[in-house]
Amino acid sequence: MNTNIKNRDEIEEQFKWNLGTMYKNADEVKQDLEKIKELLEQFKGYQGRLTDKETILEALQLQDRSDQLMEKSYTYAHMKLDEDIANTQALALFDQVKSLYVVYSEATSFFVPDLMKLDDEFLQSLAGDERFKDYRHFIREIGRNKEHILSDTEEKILSSFGEIAGAPKSIFQTLNNADLKFGQVINENNEPVELTHGRYQRLIQSGSREVRKAAYNELYRVYKSFKNTIAQTYINSVKKDCLYARLRKYNSALESSTFADNVDVSVYHNLIATIRHNISLLHRYIDFRKQVMQLPELHMYDLYVPLVTELNKNYSYQEAVDLVLQGLRKLGDRYVVDLKHGLENGWVDVYENKGKTAGAYSTGAYGYHPYILLNFNGTMNDVFTLAHEAGHAMHTFYSHKNQPYRNASYTIFVAEVASTLNENLLIHHLLAQTNDAKEKLYLLNYNLEQVRTTLFRQTMFAEFEKITHEKAEQGVSLTPEALSEIYYELNKFYYQGVRLDDEISMEWARIPHFYNAFYVYKYTTGFSAAVALANGILQGGPEELAKYLEFLGSGGKDYPLELLKKAGVDMEKPQPVEACLHSFDENLKLAAQLI
Q: Contact 293/309 with Cβ under 8 angstroms?
A: no
CA distances from 103 to 70, 95, 116, 136, 462 (A): 11, 12, 22, 27, 33
CATH 1.20.140.70 fits 8-165, yes or no: yes
- What confidence score (pLDDT) does residue 311 get? 61
Report CA Rg, the chain: 24
Q: In whole angstroms, what is the distance from residue 131 CA to residue 134 CA?
A: 8
Position 312 scores a pLDDT of 65
Q: Tell me how crowded residue 234 is: count the other CB atoms within 10 A of its CB.
A: 22
In the set 71, 352, 389, 544, the catalytic residue is 389
DSSP 20: G
What is the pLDDT at residue 188? 93
> Which residues have CB under 8 Å from 378's CB, separation 6+?
314, 315, 316, 317, 320
Backbone angles phi, psi at 371, to 5 degrees: -130, 155
Q: What is the 3-state secondary structure (H, E, C) of 317-356?
A: HHHHHHHHHHHCHHHCHHHHHHHHHHHCCCCEECCCCCCC
Strands 192-194 and 184-186: antiparallel
Please report, for the chain, the start and end positions of each structural domain, with discontinuous segments joined by +: 8-165, 181-225, 233-313+398-595
Q: What's this model's pTM, rounded to 2 decimal places?
A: 0.81
Q: What is the dihedral of CA 507, 513, 519, 525, to 10 degrees?
A: -60
Three-state DSSP class for residue 299:
strand
Please enumerate in sequence order all residues whose Cβ is within 8 A of that of 384, keeping only pairs 6 or more positions apart, or say none.
423, 426, 427, 446, 450
Q: What is the pLDDT of residue 83?
A: 97
Residue 366 confidence (pLDDT): 98
Alpha carbons 373 and 75: distance in angstroms, whole number: 13
Pairing of strands 371-373, 361-363: antiparallel
Q: How far apart are the first and last CA of the chain?
A: 30
Give the pLDDT confidence score for residue 1 in this predicted structure: 44
Cα–Cα distance, 496 to 21 (Å, whole number):
51
**What is the helix (H) or strand (E) element at residue 274, kind and residue range?**
helix 265-277
Q: CA 406, CA 62: separation in Å to the nearest integer? A: 12
The low-confidence residues of the chain, meaning pLDDT below 50, are: 1-2
Report d(CA 112, CA 151) in Å as an integer: 10
- Closest by CA position to 382, among listed 338, 339, 353, 352: 352
**Which CATH homologous superfamily contains domain 233-313+398-595?**
Oligoendopeptidase f, C-terminal domain (1.10.1370.20)
- Assign 553 to helix, strand or coil: coil
Which pairs count as long-range contacts for 113-119, CB under 8 Å and 24+ apart, including other chains? 113/149, 113/150, 113/151, 113/152, 113/155, 114/46, 114/47, 114/48, 114/50, 114/152, 115/50, 115/56, 115/139, 115/142, 116/142, 116/145, 116/146, 116/149, 118/50, 118/51
Is 389 designated active site? yes
Coil, strand or helix at 478: coil
Question: Element (H or E) spanning 361, and its range?
Answer: strand 361-363
For domain 181-225, give the fold.
Helix Hairpins (1.10.287)
Quickly list DSSP for 97-164: HHHHHHHHHHHTTTHHHHHHTS-HHHHHHHHHSGGGGGGHHHHHHHHHHGGG---HHHHHHHHHTHHH
pLDDT of residue 358: 87
